[in-house]
Structure 1
Amino acid sequence: MSQDITDKHTSAKIRVTIAGAIINVILSIAKVIVGMVSHSHALLIDGIHSLSDLAGDVLVVVVSRISSQKPDSKHPYGHQRFETLGTIILGSLLLTVAGAIIYDSILRFFSSAENIIPAWPALLVAALSILGKEVLYHYTVRVGKKCSSEIIIANAWHHRSDAFSSVVVLIGIFAAMMGVGWADQVAATVVSFFIAKIGLHLVLKNIAELVDTSPAAEIVEEIKLFISENSYVNDVHNLRCRNMGGDIFLDIHIEVDPQISVSEGHNIGDRITCDLFNNFNKIKDVTIHIDYEKDNDKDLSLPENIMPLRNEVIEHLQQLWCDILDFNVVNKLYLHYDKDKINIDLFLSDFVVEDNLSAQLENVSEKPEWLGKVDLYTAK
């Protein structure tokens, strides 16, 4: 995703959050004042819930600015995890508010004080709250999905929780006005449990992201299948995905023809990376490891599983073949690693190749286990 698009998304997230904050202020003041004047404990609690939304809006603005910053030396993968952390704080705030409200509502429910019947203005404010919050939910969730922002989507559900809670409050106030005095306290308690459910969902979902939980299995399988359809890819393995602030970071091993050059293998990896970016909007970073064979069952922590490098091979062959081949006539030497063997292409200059020279080189005494096929070519 380009920085221009990131900046546009950041501006959109801040605009929708500020719009939500303004509506939250108006509704919070209205619900708290009317709740106190109209003797509706449920509406008053709903107003306090809206005030917690306001605190969440401030958090969203701050986190959106931080998470949109470019990667730097201290955060080479970017700042998206700040959005994840912010969402966890937002969910924790909901849980705290819900717990306090539940405690207060239970105390009031068992109190010996006489229940006071709410007045009609409480009904009107609750209805306006439902309308305002539902409109705000649809606006916010649309921006969140467009920007692939978990914290904006979480804030949208925060608005919807307000709308749902106001529905419960409306029913409770109406029932209390009809003579069911305890209905207002029950409504407040029900609202609190709903708030707690939303908060717990946000916390658990984003903790899973912080510990690098993989995206849904169907998404991972879709990515793997997409890469496998590339005709130059023989196998896809060691696919690892992780979520980061609404984005997907991908590490993958692909197996290609062992006879192609390093640059061709690298170019295949570049093409796959480009195709992934253009077909999966959520993929933000791709790291591809090019393999010439399946290596997912190889323990790379054991030195005996590592084949010798070029300088080690040449030094060994010079000693091994000293009585058969003068290395001064070797113009080029190519190594082809094939499972537990190294096949060798030798390009010789100014040298008459004997018919059985390849066999002599392959079957030399004290032959190392890694020495495979030897092919000879005369440089023209």
Structure 2
Amino acid sequence: MSAGHNHDHQHGSSGNLKLAFFLNLSFTIIEIFGGFWTNSIAILTDSVHDLGDSISLGLAWYFENLSKKGRTPLHTYGYRRFRLMGGLITGFMLLIGLSFVLYHAVLRLNHPQEVNAQGMIWLAVLGVAFNGIAVLRMKHGTSLTEKLVSWHLIEDALGWIAVLLGAGIMMIWDVPFIDPLLSICISLFVLWNVIRNLKKVFSVILQTVPEDFDITEFERKVTEVSEISSIHHVHCWSIDGESHVLSAHLVVNHGVENYAEIKAKVRDFLDEHHFEHVTLEIVKEGESCRIAP
């Protein structure tokens, strides 16, 4: 991955998060007034949830901008790892918000209340429009933060589709339990995807091998290079879920001196992956590495 490509991608990520933040905040304000207008506890509850999401989106936008800073003596890989903070905050806010919505949806299921169904339809149309625009902007995002934010926006869009369907049904039949039932189903679906993406964030934080890289296959290919007798001390992790790091010791046969050519062959095995920092140390057969295994 080239530095220019990464810079352009980060700029796009920041712009997407900025749009998502302002759209979410604007609609939250509309939603608060609309909740009182329709006498809908569900909408007022969701407005509190969206206010919390607006805060998390603002923080995600801040950390995305912070991640653009270059390397320093303290942060030698730069600040890109701070992007994970935005993903973590967004993920946990979603878990809290979904729990809040689920709790009130269950209460509403047990004690249905009459609402202004026609007003709910107008608010639902606005909700789908606001969140739909943001989802279209975020759907091509590749960072873990963008993926979690996308699920936040999809959750909101699906939630408003549920409100729209529920309000439409309630205008025809007196079945107020439809709205909370749809909310529960959608919340559980989104919850599963949020947990799945949070696991990826924690995987990066714990410096596990990137899921799209088979380290065993890489070691096998390296040992097939005629000048290399073995490979050890292979360490591989990801900085932010997109840019990866790898270091390894290559044990070469006696008499081999074309080190630059050997390293080039090994780097060729990494071209299809997003390795931004690759450190390959040449070790002659019988030479001690002087580090713990």
Q: Same fold (TM over 0.5)?
A: yes
1:73/1:64 CA distance change after superposition, 3 Å: same
User: Is residue 281 of structure 2 the alignment partner of residue 286 of structure 1?
Assistant: no
TM-score (norm 1): 0.65
Question: Among 161, 165, 170, which residue is 1:171 paired with?
Answer: 165
Alignment correspondent of 2:66: 66
Question: Superposition pairs for residues 123-142 of structure 1, below 5 Å?
Answer: 123-142=121-140
Aligned counterpart in structure 2 of residue 220 of structure 1, from 215, 227, 248: 215
Instruction: Map 1:243-282; keep pairs closer than 5 Å.
Output: 243-246=238-241, 247-261=243-257, 264-265=258-259, 267-268=260-261, 270-272=263-265, 275=268, 279-280=271-272, 282=274
Q: Is the 8 A contact 2:121 2:164 kept in 1?
A: yes
Matched, 1:35 2:35: yes
User: How much has 1:24 moved relative to structure 2?
Assistant: 1.6
Which among 146, 153, 156 is matched to residue 150 of structure 2? 156
Q: What SS is found at the alignment partner of 1:74?
A: coil
Q: Is the 8 A contact 1:63 1:82 kept in 2?
A: yes
For residue 209 of structure 1, what is the aligned residue in structure 2? 204
**Aligned counterparts of 2:193 and 2:168: Cα–Cα separation in 1:** 25
Q: CA deviation at 1:38?
A: 1.8
Structure-1 separation of matches of 2:220 and 2:115: 63
The aligned amino acid for 1:162 is: D
Q: 1:366 maps to what in 2?
A: none
1:237 to 1:217, Cα distance in 2 relative to 1, 3 A: farther
**Are 1:117 and 2:112 matched, yes or no?**
no
Distance 1:226 1:161, change over 3 A: farther
User: 1:93: how far off?
Assistant: 0.7
Amino acid at match of 2:203: A
CA-CA distance at 1:237 after TM superposition: 4.5
Paired with 2:286 and 2:178, the residues of 1 have a C-alpha distance of 66
Distance of aligned partners of 1:32 and 1:291 in 2 relative to their CA distance in 1, 3 Å threshold:
same
Q: Distance in 2 between matches of 1:121 and 1:21?
A: 25
Give the 3 Å change call, closer, same or farther, for CA 174–228 of structure 1 in structure 2.
Answer: farther
- Which whole-Å deviations, capped at 9, do the CAs of 1:22-62 have from their partners, x for residues lacking one? 32233323333223312333333444443333223211221
- Superposition deviation, residue 269 in structure 1: 5.3
Tell me if the contact between 2:213 and 2:273 (Cα under 8 Å) persists in the aligned partners.
no
Distance 1:295 1:135 in 2: 60
Query: Which residues of structure 1 form unaligned runs of 5+?
Result: 303-380
Cα deviation digits, residues 39-88 of structure 1 (max 9, x gap): 33333344444333322321122111222222222122332321123211
How has the CA–CA distance of structure 1 residues 155 and 217 changed in structure 2, closer, same or farther, with 3 Å as cutoff? closer
| Distance in 1, Cα, partners of 2:45 & 2:168 | 16
Return the letter of the residue paired with 1:154: L
User: Residue 123 and residue 229 in structure 1: after superposition, are their counterparts in 2 closer, same or farther (change >3 A)?
Assistant: farther
Counterpart-to-counterpart distance in 1, 2:274 and 2:151: 21
Q: Does 1:181 align with 2:180?
A: no
Structure 1 letter corresponding to 2:253? D
Partner amino acid for 2:105?
Answer: S
TM-score, L = length of structure 2: 0.82
Asked if residue 53 in structure 1 is aligned to residue 53 in structure 2, the reply is yes
Deviation at 1:234, TM superposition (A): 4.6
Q: Distance in 2 between matches of 1:4 and 1:299?
A: 37
Equivalenced residues, count: 291
The aligned counterpart of 1:76 is 76
1:213/1:242 contact within 8 Å kept: yes
Q: How far apart are residue 131 of structure 1 and its match?
A: 4.0
* 8 A Cα contact 2:135 2:154, kept in partner: yes
Q: Is the 8 A contact 1:41 1:185 kept in 2?
A: no
Tell me the distance in 2 between the aligned counterparts of 1:217 and 1:295.
Answer: 33
SS in 2 for 1:180: coil
Counterparts of 1:191 and 1:241, CA distance in 2: 37
Question: Which deviates the most, 244-253 or 216-225?
Answer: 216-225
Q: Determine the C-alpha separation between the residues in 2 that align with 1:24 and 1:39.
A: 21
**Uncovered stretches (5+) of structure 2, i.e. residues with no partner:** none
Answer 1 or 2: higher relative contact order, Cα 8 Å, separation at least 6.
2
Write 1 or 2 for the structure with the bigger share of helix.
Answer: 2
Of residues 176-185 and 286-295 in structure 1, the stretch that sits farther from structure 2 once superposed is 286-295
Question: Residue type of the partner of 2:152?
Answer: H
Q: Which amino acid aligns with 1:57?
A: L
Deviation track 1:169-224 (CA, whole Å, cap 9, x = no partner) reads 22332333321122223334344434433442333221122111212265435644
Structure (1 or 2) with the larger CA radius of gyration: 1
2:29 aligned counterpart, secondary structure: helix
